A and B are shown apart, each in its own frame.
Chain A
Amino acid sequence: KNEVEQSPQNLTAQEGEFITINCSYSVGISALHWLQQHPGGGIVSLFMLSSGKKKHGRLIATINIQEKHSSLHITASHPRDSAVYICAVAEETSGSRLTFGEGTQLTVNP
């Protein structure tokens, strides 16, 4: 069992739909990150969370430390949101090292 699990693995949506990607982890963490990887491979850091909720534009990330669960929401999805979304955690005991989920491939169709 992976320490970081994401669901779903693949997600196809129509433009305008509300999207949720989930991440569960089994270790104590100091922070959780949501990353976006585009087809070319480059990775962009979307959020770093240690508690509560953060919002940036159409993206919202929440975390529940007690339940060891985080969600990434995309409102009014657009084809340009198509990418792989990766959840990564910084474990309490491993310093700054990140443990990654397998990623969620999101495709938004026009």
Chain B
Amino acid sequence: GAVVSQHPSRVICKSGTSVKIECRSLDFQATTMFWYRQFPKQSLMLMATSNEGSKATYEQGVEKDKFLINHASLTLSTLTVTSAHPEDSSFYICSGAAKGYGYTFGSGTRLTVV
């Protein structure tokens, strides 16, 4: 079945550095990739939606210069957290969508900024 491979699963970085999270769709082509953020005991919050080859659409309140999303191909989308701060520590998860495949979620990335 459809799989979205997300890496890394955990990352600890220093404040001020940038972190890149990758999501690859395996065995299918994700025409749309959704990026979510989840705080403890809360549900998923949509950060942005990206379609292959076009700029991402960001949700209100999400800084596009801080959370850079690239969806250069139908099988790869990346989220880069730039100049990370401790308040960016969270669980980030992607979901690929394609006609006939529904939604396929990555395994998530737990980011800790120290």
| A97 contact set on B, CB distance < 8 A | 34, 46, 49
In whole angstroms, what is the CA distance A102 to B44 when docked? 8
| A96 contact set on B, CB distance < 8 A | 32, 97
Do A40 and B107 have beta carbons less than 8 Å apart? yes
Q: Which stretch from B19-27, B73-81, B98-106 is at the chain A interface?
A: B98-106
How far is the CB of B104 from the nearest CB of chain A, in Å? 7
Do B108 and A45 have beta carbons less than 8 Å apart? no
In whole angstroms, what is the CA distance A32 to B108 when docked? 22
In the assembled complex, B42 has its CB within 8 A of some CB on chain A: yes
In whole angstroms, what is the CA distance A45 to B34 when docked? 15
Do A98 and B103 have beta carbons less than 8 Å apart? yes
How far is the CB of B62 from the nearest CB of chain A, in Å? 14
In whole angstroms, what is the CA distance A37 to B42 when docked? 12
Do B34 and A98 have beta carbons less than 8 Å apart? yes
| Residue count of chain B within 8 Å CB distance of chain A | 20
| Residue count of chain A within 8 Å CB distance of chain B | 17
Q: How many inter-chain contacts with C-beta < 8 Å in the A-B complex? A: 43
Interface of B: prevailing SS: strand
Find the B residue at minimum CB distance from A43. Answer: B105
| B44 contact set on A, CB distance < 8 A | 86, 100
List CB contacts (< 8 Å) of A88-110 with chain B: 96-98, 100-103
Q: What are 25 of the A-B contact pairs (CB < 8 Å)?
A: A33-B102, A35-B105, A40-B107, A41-B38, A41-B108, A42-B107, A42-B108, A43-B93, A44-B105, A45-B103, A48-B102, A48-B103, A86-B44, A96-B97, A97-B46, A97-B49, A98-B46, A98-B95, A98-B103, A100-B43, A100-B44, A101-B43, A102-B42, A102-B43, A103-B43
Closest 4 CB pairs of A and B: A43-B105, A41-B108, A42-B107, A100-B43
Q: Which residues of B contact A (CB under 8 A)?
A: 32, 34, 38, 42-44, 46, 49, 91, 93, 95, 97, 102-108, 110
